[in-house]
C-alpha cells in the first residue's frame, strides 16, 4: 500500500489496534504508527500483570474483529464490594442482569499481539514503527513525520495513551483531576480458588481490587493508595506483602501464598476539551480521557469510542473522504458528554467512599443497603457498567 491513506492511527495499543483493524475491514487504507512493536511479557506465573476488564459490548467488538477466539479470557460472574469501616456490602451477580457473566479479564499483552497479527495480515494496512517528528494539519489532509518519513492521510486518529504526543503537539486543552494516589499492580496465588468472583474493598487510603485470572488460584491485584503507601508496599519482602494483602482482603480467599513483581504507576483522571480538536483529527481512548481504575471501565469506554467511530465510518460511501470537516462533530459531542459523565461519576464514587466520618459512614451504609435490597436499581447499575444500559448505548 502506498500514497495517501484514508486513516492514520497513532498508537497501537488495545484501542488503537482495534480501531485500525476495524477501519481496514471497512475497506479503508490504513496506516498504524507506534514507537515499538508489542511483545508479550508473562510474569512469574505465566500471566501478564497488565490486564483489563472486558464488558460484553467490548467482547462483541473483539468478536467482530475476528480475534476473540485467540484470546485467553477469564470470566467473572460475581462482584463483591465492601469497605473498611462499613457494615453494608454490595453483591453484583451476573444473574441479576440476566447474564451468565458480568465480564472477562483479558491480559493486555496477548490481546494486543492478537490484534497485531491480524493487522499484519491485512492488505489494507501499513504498520510504521518509529518516533513521531511532527504533525501538519491542512485543509486537504494531515501530514505526519515519523523518523524523517512523511505520511499523508485524510484522517488522523490519536490513540497514543494518557501522555498522548498527538494531543500535546496539537496543543489540545485537557482538564485534569489529580487523585493523589498511585496504583500497585501484581498477580497473586491464593489459598482458595476465586470461582470467578471479583472483589473490591474500599480502604481508607483507596480501593483494592482482586480480579480473577484464567487459573483458578491466580488473581490480579490493583491497589490504589497514597504514593507513600505504594512505595512502602512495593519494597516489602514477598511474605510481608502477602500477609498485608490477605489482611486488607479480610481473608476472602484465605492466605496469599505468593506474589509476582509489584508495579506502581501514578493515577489521575483527565478529559480533553474536544475529541475532534482540529479538522481531520480525532482523539480517542486514553488520549482523550482517563478514568480512575476503580470500576475497570478504561478499556471499555475506549472500545466504545472505537465502535462509534467504526459505525460512522461504515455508513460513509467507500469513495467518501473520511476526514471531511463536519463529519465528526456529533461524534465528538457524544464522546465528550460520555467522558465528562464517567469522570464525574468516578470522582464522586471515590470521594463518597473516602469520607470516614460517622455521619458519612452511616449515610453511605444506608444507601448501599438500599441498593443491595432494590433489585431493579442494582440491575440498572450493572447494565450501565457493562455498557448495555440506555445511557451507555445512547452515548
Q: Which of 221, 250, 267 is the last residue of a domain?
A: 267
167 touches 290 (CB < 8 A): no
Is 130 in the same domain as 201?
no
Q: Is residue 284 part of a domain?
A: yes
- What is the CATH classification number for the domain harbouring 261? 3.30.9.10
Strands 206-212 vs 281-283: parallel, antiparallel or unpaired: unpaired
Q: What distance in Å separates the CA atoms of residue 361 and residue 150, rounded to the nearest whole number?
A: 58
Query: Is residue 206 within 8 Å of 200, Cβ to Cβ?
Result: no
Per-residue b or e along 332-369, where b marks 16 or more CB atoms closer than 10 Å to that residue's CB? bebbbebbeebbeebeeebeebeeeeeeebeebbeebe
Same domain? 149 vs 279: yes
Whether residue 299 sits in one domain with residue 162: yes
Grid cell digits, residue 289: 480521557
- Note whether 61 and 126 are same-domain residues: yes
Regarding whether 126 and 33 lie in a shared domain, the answer is yes
Q: Which of 154, 172, 156, 153 is nearest to 164 (CA)?
A: 172
Helix axes 298-315, 14-25, angle to 10 degrees: 20
DSSP 351: H
Nearest to 138 by CA among 156, 164, 126: 156
Which cell numbers hold the place of 18? 482495534
Ramachandran category for residue 66: left, alpha or beta (phi over 0 → left; psi -120 to 50 → alpha): left
Q: Which of 243, 267, 291 is the last residue of a domain?
A: 267
Could you tell me the CATH number of the domain that includes residue 42?
A: 3.50.50.60
* E strand residue ranges, 73-148: 74-76, 78-83, 90-93, 103-107, 125-129, 132-138, 141-146
Are the C-beta atoms of residues 257 and 216 closer than 8 Å to each other?
A: no
If asked whether residues 362 and 274 sit together in one domain, one would say yes
Q: Is residue 65 part of a domain?
A: yes
Q: Tell me the residue range of the domain where 358 lies.
A: 5-74+106-175+268-394
Identify the three-state secondary structure at position 333. helix
End-to-end CA distance of the chain: give it in Å, rounded: 35
The three-point CA angle 11-16-18 to 5° equals: 150
Residue 99 lies inside a defined structural domain of this protein: no
CA distances from 44 to 48, 186, 193, 218, 235 (A): 9, 10, 18, 11, 18
Shared-domain flag, residues 250 and 292 = no
What CA–CA distance (Å, rounded) separates 27 from 24? 5
Distance from C-alpha of 252 to C-alpha of 256, rounded to nearest angstrom: 10
Same domain, 142 and 256: no
Would residue 88 count as lying in a domain?
Answer: no
Domain membership flag for residue 280: yes
Confidence at residue 93, expressed as pLDDT on a 0 to 100 scale: 87
In a domain, 91, yes or no: no
Residue pLDDT tens, the chain, 395 long: 458 999 999 999 999 999 999 999 999 999 999 999 998 778 899 999 999 999 988 999 999 999 999 998 999 999 898 887 766 678 888 887 788 999 999 999 999 999 999 999 999 999 999 999 999 999 899 999 999 999 999 999 999 999 999 999 999 999 988 778 899 999 999 999 999 999 999 888 888 999 999 999 999 999 999 999 999 999 999 999 999 999 999 999 999 999 999 999 988 888 999 999 999 999 999 999 988 776 666 789 999 999 999 999 999 998 899 999 899 999 999 999 988 877 776 665 555 555 555 545 544 455 555 455 555 655 565 555 555 555 555 54
Residue finishing a domain among 215, 248, 267: 267
Q: Where are the beta strands (DSSP E) in the chain?
A: 5-10, 30-34, 51-54, 74-76, 78-83, 90-93, 103-107, 125-129, 132-138, 141-146, 149-158, 174-190, 197-203, 206-212, 218-225, 256-259, 263-272, 281-283, 289-290
Q: Closest Cα to residue 166, out of 276, 91, 70, 20?
A: 276
Q: Please check whether residues 262 and 272 belong to one and the same domain.
A: no
Is there a domain that residue 376 lies in?
yes
- Residue 192 shares a structural domain with residue 224: yes
Domain shared by 242 and 340, yes or no? no
Q: pTM (2 decimals)?
A: 0.89
Residues 263 and 354 both lie in one domain = no
Q: Judge whether 190 lies within some domain.
A: yes
The grid coordinates listed for 77 are 460472574
Give the chain's domain count.
2
Amino acid at each position: 500500500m502506498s500514497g495517501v491513506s484514508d486513516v492514520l492511527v497513532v498508537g497501537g495499543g488495545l484501542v488503537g489496534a482495534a480501531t485500525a483493524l476495524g477501519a481496514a475491514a471497512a475497506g479503508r487504507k490504513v496506516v498504524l504508527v507506534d514507537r515499538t512493536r508489542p511483545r508479550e511479557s508473562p510474569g512469574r506465573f505465566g500471566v501478564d500483570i497488565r490486564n483489563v476488564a472486558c464488558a460484553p459490548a467490548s467482547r462483541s467488538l473483539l468478536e467482530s474483529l475476528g480475534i476473540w477466539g485467540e484470546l485467553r479470557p477469564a470470566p467473572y460472574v460475581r462482584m463483591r464490594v465492601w469497605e473498611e469501616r462499613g457494615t453494608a456490602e454490595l453483591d453484583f451477580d451476573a444473574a441479576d442482569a440476566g447474564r451468565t457473566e458480568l465480564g472477562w479479564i483479558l491480559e493486555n499483552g496477548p490481546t494486543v499481539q492478537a490484534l497485531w497479527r491480524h493487522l499484519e495480515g491485512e492488505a489494507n494496512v501499513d504498520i510504521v514503527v518509529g518516533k513521531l517528528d511532527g504533525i501538519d494539519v491542512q485543509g486537504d489532509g494531515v501530514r505526519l513525520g515519523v523518523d524523517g518519513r512523511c505520511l499523508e492521510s485524510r484522517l488522523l486518529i490519536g490513540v497514543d495513551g494518557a501522555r498522548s504526543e498527538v494531543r500535546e503537539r496539537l496543543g489540545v486543552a485537557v482538564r485534569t483531576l489529580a487523585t493523589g494516589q498511585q496504583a500497585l499492580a501484581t498477580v497473586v496465588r491464593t489459598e482458595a480458588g476465586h470461582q470467578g468472583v471479583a472483589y473490591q474493598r474500599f480502604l481508607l487510603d483507596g480501593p483494592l481490587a482482586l480480579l480473577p485470572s484464567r487459573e483458578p488460584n491466580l488473581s490480579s491485584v490493583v491497589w490504589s493508595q497514597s504514593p507513600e503507601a505504594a512505595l512502602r508496599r512495593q519494597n516489602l519482602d514477598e511474605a510481608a506483602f502477602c500477609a498485608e494483602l490477605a489482611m486488607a482482603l479480610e481473608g476472602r480467599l484465605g492466605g496469599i501464598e505468593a506474589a509476582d513483581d509489584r508495579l506502581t504507576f501514578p493515577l489521575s483522571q483527565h478529559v480533553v476539551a474536544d475529541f475532534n480538536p482540529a479538522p481531520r483529527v480525532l482523539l480517542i481512548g486514553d488520549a482523550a480521557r482517563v478514568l480512575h481504575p476503580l470500576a475497570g471501565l478504561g478499556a471499555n469506554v475506549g472500545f466504545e469510542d472505537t465502535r462509534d467511530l467504526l459505525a460512522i465510518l461504515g455508513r460513509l460511501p467507500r469513495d467518501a473522504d473520511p476526514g471531511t470537516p463536519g463529519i465528526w462533530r456529533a461524534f465528538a459531542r457524544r464522546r465528550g458528554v460520555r467522558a465528562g459523565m464517567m469522570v464525574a461519576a468516578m470522582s464522586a464514587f471515590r470521594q463518597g467512599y473516602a469520607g470516614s466520618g460517622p455521619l458519612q459512614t452511616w449515610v453511605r451504609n444506608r444507601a448501599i443497603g438500599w441498593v443491595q435490597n432494590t433489585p431493579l436499581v442494582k440491575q440498572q447499575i450493572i447494565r450501565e457498567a457493562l455498557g448495555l444500559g440506555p445511557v451507555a448505548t445512547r452515548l
